[in-house]
Amino acid sequence: LFQGVRQAQWLTKTKLVEGLPPSVLSIIDNPAHRLEEHEERVKQAISHARLWDTVEPAPKREHYCPVLFEDLIHICRLMSMKYPSLTKRMLSRNYKIAATWERESILLQVRGLNGILMNSMAPIPPVASKEEILATEAHVLETFYPISPTIDLQEVNVYRELNDTGFRDGYPYSHPHTLFFLESANVRTDRFRPEQLRAKMLMFAFGNALAKAKVLYGSDPKVLEQPIVVQSIGTDGQLFQFMVFQLNTTDLVSSDGIKNLVWVDSDQNLYEKAQCIPEVKKRVVTKPAGIYGFQPDTFKKFLALYLHGTV
Amino acid sequence: MAAPGGRRLLWSGRRWLSQAEPAVSPQPPDSPQPPDSLYPPIVASATAKSKAAKQRRLEHFKQRVHTAPSIEEKLRLYGLLQRPKYVVYPQTFALNADRWYQSFTKTVFVPGLPPRTASAAAKAPAAAGVIPAAGTAPQPGAAAPAPTRTAEATAGAAPYPDVRELRALACDALLQESFYQHKRRPVLYRSQEHTPGPFLTQLVSSLVASLCSHNPLLAASSLDLKPEVNYYWHHGEEVVVHGYRKGRIDPVRFQIDDNPHLQIRVPKQLPQVVPLESDLGDVPVIDHKPSKLPLFKRQYENKVFIGSKVADPCCYGHTQFHLIPDKLKRERLVKANLEDQIEVVYRANGIASLFAWTAAQAMYQGFWSEADVTRPFVSQAVVTDGKYFAFFCYQLNTLALTVETIQNNPRKNICWGTKSKPLYDVVEDGSVKGFNDEVFFQLVRFLLNRPKEL
So what's the pLDDT on residue B234? 94
- Among A94-103, B153-162, B359-368, the range with the most confident prediction by mean pLDDT is B359-368
Cis peptide before B132 (omega within 30 of 0): no
Domain shared by B90 and B72, yes or no:
no
CA triplet B4, B6, B11: central angle to 5 degrees? 60
| Separation between Cα atoms, residue B337 and residue B171, nearest integer Å | 33
Residue B419, by phi and psi: left (phi above 0), alpha (psi -120 to 50) or beta?
beta
Residue A68, chain B, CB below 8 Å: the answer is: no
Nearest to B222 among A48, A66, A94 (CB): A48
Mean pLDDT of B214-231: 88
State yes or no: pLDDT of B16 exceeds 70: no
Measured between alpha carbons, how far is B147 from A132 in angstroms, rounded to an integer?
Answer: 54
Stretch B302-315: mean pLDDT, rounded?
A: 90
What is the reported pLDDT for B345? 93
Q: How far apart are CA A192 and CA A172, in angstroms?
A: 34
Most confidently modeled range among B77-91, B186-200, B216-230: B77-91
What is the chain A residue with the closest CA to B304? A55
A 205-244 near B (Cβ less than 8 A): none
CB contact under 8 A, A87 and B227: no
Judged against a pLDDT cut of 90, whether residue B34 lies above it is answered with no
Backbone angles phi, psi at A208, to 5 degrees: -65, -45
CB contact under 8 A, B173 and A74: no
Q: What is the pLDDT of residue A113?
A: 60
Same domain, B77 and B167: no
Percentage of chain A exceeding pLDDT 90: 0
Residues facing residue A181 across a β-bridge: A234
- With beta carbons under 8 A apart, name residues in chain B contacting A53: 224, 227, 307-309
Number of domains in chain A: 1
List Cβ neighbours of B340 (8 Å cut-off, separation of 6 or more). Answer: none
Instruction: Write a three-state SS string for B383-402.
Output: EECCCEEEEEEEEECCCCCC
Contacts of A228 (CB under 8 A, 6+ apart): A123, A209, A212, A213, A216, A246, A247
Q: Is residue B167 part of a domain?
A: yes
The pLDDT value given to residue B146: 36
In a domain, B437, yes or no: yes
- The pLDDT score that the predictor gives to residue A127 is 67
Residue contact B181–A81, C-beta within 8 A? no
Q: What share of chain A is helix, strand, coil (3-state, %, to 5)?
A: 35, 30, 35
Residues B137-159 as b or e (16 or more Cβ within 10 Å = b): bebeebeeeeebbeebeeeeebe
User: Has residue A107 got a pLDDT over 70?
Assistant: no
Q: Tell whether B67 and B97 lie within a shared domain.
A: no
Q: Is the pLDDT of residue B193 over 60?
A: yes
> Contacts of residue A90 in chain B, CB cutoff 8 Å?
172-173, 176, 202, 206
What B38-46 contacts at long range (C-beta under 8 Å, 24+ apart), as own/partner pairs, is: B40/B16, B46/B9, B46/B12, B46/B13, B46/B16
- Chain B residues in contact with A208 by the CB 8 A cut-off are none
CA B42 to chain centre: 44
For residues B395 and B373, what is the distance between their CA atoms, to the nearest angstrom? 12
Q: What is the ipTM of this complex?
A: 0.85
B144 is a domain residue:
no
Bridge pairing between strands B262-266 and B222-225: antiparallel
B186: left (phi over 0), alpha (psi -120 to 50) or beta: beta
Please give the residue range of the domain that contains residue B369: 84-112+162-448
Residue B207 pLDDT more than 60?
yes
Q: Residue B176 is nearest to which of A71, A90, A96, comparing CB atoms?
A: A90
What is residue B140's predicted lDDT score, i.e. its pLDDT? 36
CA-to-CA distance for A136 and A17, rounded, in angstroms? Answer: 11
Please tell me the predicted confidence (pLDDT) of residue B96.
Answer: 92
Read off the pLDDT band of B159 (50, 70, 90): low
- Least Cα distance to B173 among B189, B150, B196, B142 occurs for B196
- How does DSSP classify residue A83? -
Query: Best-predicted range by mean pLDDT among A288-302, B399-413, B419-433?
Result: B399-413
pLDDT at B87: 94
Same domain, B195 and B321: yes
The per-residue pLDDT for B85 is 94
Please state, in angstroms and as integers, the Cα–Cα distance from residue B183 to each residue in A162, B112, B153, B173, B200, following that order: 16, 38, 46, 15, 17
Per-residue confidence (pLDDT) for residue B151, from 0 to 100: 36
B320, β-bridge pairs:
B263, B381
> Pairing relation of β-strands B107-111 and B413-417?
parallel
Give the residue, A104 or B202, on which the prediction is more confident.
Answer: B202
pLDDT bracket for residue B107 (50, 70, 90): very high
Pairing of strands B421-422, A14-18: unpaired
For residue B430, what is the nearest residue in chain A, using CA coordinates?
A170
One domain for residues B230 and B252: yes
Q: In terms of domains, do B227 and B339 share one?
A: yes
Judge whether B336 lies within some domain.
yes
CB atoms within 10 A of CB B273: 18
Cα B132 → chain centroid = 38
Q: Residue B20's pLDDT is what?
A: 41
Q: Decide if pLDDT at B17 tops 50.
A: no
pLDDT-wise least confident of A20-29, A276-285, B191-200? A20-29
- Give the C-alpha separation, A247 to A209, whole Å: 7
Full residue range of the structural domain in which residue A108 is found: 3-307
Q: Do A80 and B222 touch (CB under 8 A)?
A: no
How many residues are present in chain B? 454
d(C-alpha B259, C-alpha B232), whole Å:
15
Distance CA B103, CA B425 (A): 36
- Chain A residues with CB inside 8 Å of B183's CB? 94-95
Instruction: Provide the β-strand partners of residue A271.
Output: none
CB atoms within 10 A of CB B381: 27
Domain end, chosen from B34, B66, B81, is at: B81
Q: What is the mean pLDDT of residues B273-284?
A: 89
Same domain, B183 and B64: no
- Give residue B103's pLDDT: 93
CA distances from B175 to A168, B360, B388, B439 (A): 11, 37, 16, 18
How many separate domains does chain B show?
2
pLDDT score for A1: 59
Residue A120: list chain B partners with CB under 8 A.
none
State the average pLDDT over residues A229-240. Answer: 86
Q: What is the mean pLDDT of chain B?
A: 82
Write out pLDDT tens, residues A3-43: 677 777 777 778 888 888 888 888 777 766 666 677 888 88
pLDDT reported for residue B118: 38
Same domain for B325 and B437, yes or no, is yes
* Pair (B58, B106) in one structural domain: no
Whole-angstrom distance, CA of residue A308 vs CA of residue A28 = 10
* Structure confidence at residue A311 (pLDDT): 67
Q: Please classify residue A122 by burial: count the beta carbons closer than 10 Å to its beta carbon, then call 0-12 exposed, 13-18 middle and 19+ buried.
A: middle
Helix/strand/coil for A305: helix
Segment holding A7, helix H or strand E: helix A5-12
Among A53-62, A111-120, B218-227, B256-265, the least confident range: A111-120
Instruction: State what percent of residues in chain A have pLDDT above 70.
Output: 77
Instruction: Say yes or no: A81 contacts chain B, CB-CB below 8 A.
Output: yes
Q: How confident is the model at residue A114 (pLDDT cuts 50, 70, 90)?
A: low
Task: Confirm whether B145 is domain-assigned.
Answer: no
This prediction has a pTM of 0.84
pLDDT at B149 over 50: no
**Pick from B181, B205, B305: CB nearest A77:** B205
Whether B283 contacts B107, CB under 8 Å: yes
Cα separation of B367 and B371, whole Å?
5
Judging by DSSP bridges, how do beta strands B426-428 and A284-287 pair with one another? unpaired
pLDDT digits (tens, 9 = 90+) for A163-184: 777 777 777 777 888 888 888 7
Question: In this structure, what DSSP letter does residue B365 have?
Answer: T
pLDDT mean over B13-17: 44
**B198 and B344 share a domain?**
yes
Mean pLDDT over B131-143 rounds to: 34
User: What percent of chain B is modeled with pLDDT above 70?
Assistant: 82
CA–CA separation, B176 vs B171, rounded Å? 8
Does residue B253 lie in a domain region?
Answer: yes
Q: What CA–CA distance (Å, rounded) separates B392 from B417?
A: 4
Q: Characterize the bridge pairing of strands B262-266 and B316-323.
A: antiparallel
